[in-house]
């Protein structure tokens, strides 16, 4: 499940992606426009800065902007930075795998199903850029994804 931290981080990035290239946005501006608590947004933007998604500048002319084009920022990467692995259980994770103590992994049907879930999520999120999320927010029609069954 996407946490509020992940959701707010994505909203902030979409906000920045909608701005003219190179223009800075104040934290308060982003917070008010997206109904995000400012103090929480400060911490989220700090994590996004440390991960290389945004650049900040201090001072009266300071603020935040994207560190690279929105087409190069993948949603899956942002979610992993803010919320951790995509897998619903640790034994299905590729990035933070942990062996279960209560099952036989090669025959565990729950693990196999959760690996499918993780793969389906990664397929969508790792192939969707911030630019496509930004552009879908501007469309009247919701973005529909078709997955092969």
Q: Which two tokens stand for residue 101?
A: 């103590």
**What residue segments make up the domains of the chain, in order of their start?**
4-66, 86-127
**What is the tens place of the pLDDT at every residue in 64-109?**
999 999 999 999 999 999 999 988 888 888 888 888 888 788 888 9
Where is mean pLDDT largest: 18-27, 45-54, 102-111, 137-146?
Answer: 45-54
Instruction: Please name the fold of domain 4-66.
Output: Arc Repressor Mutant, subunit A (1.10.10)
Structure tokens at 57: 């500048």
Question: What Cα–Cα distance (Å) separates residue 129 from each residue in 45, 89, 94?
Answer: 18, 25, 21
The pair phi, psi for residue 65, each rounded to 5°, is: -150, 165
Helix (H, G, I), strand (E, B) or coil at 99: coil
pLDDT in tens, 133-148: 999 866 654 444 545 5
CA contacts within 13 A on the Cβ side of 35: 2
pLDDT exceeds cutoff 50 at 149 = no
Distance CA 131, CA 128 (A): 8
- What is the reported pLDDT for 135? 93
Mean pLDDT for the chain?
A: 89
């Amino acid at each position: 499940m996407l946490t509020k931290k992940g959701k707010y981080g994505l909203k902030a990035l979409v906000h920045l992606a909608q701005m003219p290239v190179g223009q800075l946005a104040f934290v308060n501006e982003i917070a008010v426009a997206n109904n995000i608590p400012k103090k929480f947004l400060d911490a989220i933007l700090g994590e996004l800065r440390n991960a290389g998604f945004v650049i900040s500048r201090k001072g009266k002319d300071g603020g935040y902007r994207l560190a690279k084009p929105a087409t190069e920022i993948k949603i899956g990467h942002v979610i992993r930075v803010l919320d951790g692995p995509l897998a619903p259980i640790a034994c299905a994770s590729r990035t933070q795998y942990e062996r279960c103590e209560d099952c036989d992994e090669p025959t565990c049907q729950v693990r196999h199903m959760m690996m499918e879930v993780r793969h389906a999520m990664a397929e969508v999120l790792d192939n969707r850029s911030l630019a496509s999320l930004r552009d879908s927010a501007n469309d009247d029609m919701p973005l529909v994804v078709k997955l092969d069954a």
